[in-house]
Chain A
């Protein structure tokens, strides 16, 4: 079975631009979570979606938004990019909501210049 896939792999944007990151979960997994990992730090929770509904939101500004589609894939959007948004954005899927391990994708490396 294929693991979690993310696109694009790398992205370079300039301040003020907008970006959309995409994620496809493992087949059969209905929950998708997004994490931001700054170099040298642990992943920080951004959003969780389960069955297309938002189940959790981390301490991120409203410039960050996400959605989950009927096929359980997901998009993360970030508007008005700042230099501090440069990070590895990780998508993780899990079978269901709560008390389940996360299976991470390879991530999208975003660089904001």
Chain B
């Protein structure tokens, strides 16, 4: 079945540094979504990408969907302590329902 892989599994940064997490699917996706889960919380939807090569920005967050619609990335510029949490990508494709990666846990040292 469809698999979604995320790297790195953990990332620790100093406040103000940039952060990037990468997501790769074993199959072509119809869309990819990104979620953020704060410690002790539940996943919260951030964004959905549908088009090949699509790039979307939300303030300091930049999301990209690969040309082949099999990979995606999330880049955070100048991290803040409020960015702490686990970032999940989730891909939808074919007959598979939304499949989540294992997430990248981000910690920020103030």
Contact = CB atoms under 8 A, between A and B. Distances in A.
B50 A107 contact: no
Given A41-B102, A42-B103, A43-B88, A101 B97 contact: no
A103 B100 contact: no
Size category of the B interface is 20 to 34
Interface stretch (B41-49, B53-61, B62-70): B41-49
A33 B92 CA distance: 14
B62 to A, nearest CB: 18
Contact of B97 (A42, A56, A90): A56
B31 A104 contact: no
Contacts of A56: 97
Nearest to A48: B97
B1 interface: yes
A99 B30 contact: yes
A20 to B, nearest CB: 20
Given A42-B88, A107-B42, A99 B50 contact: yes
Interface string B24-42: 0000001101010000011
Interface of B: 1, 4, 6, 30-31, 33, 35, 41-45, 48, 50, 88, 90, 92, 97-103
5 nearest A-B pairs in the assembled complex, by CB-CB distance:
A42-B100, A101-B45, A56-B97, A104-B42, A42-B102
26 contacts: A33-B97, A33-B98, A40-B102, A41-B102, A42-B88, A42-B100, A43-B43, A43-B100, A45-B98, A45-B99, A45-B100, A48-B97, A58-B97, A90-B42, A90-B43, A98-B92, A99-B50, A99-B92, A101-B45, A101-B48, A102-B33, A102-B90, A103-B45, A104-B35, A104-B45, A105-B42
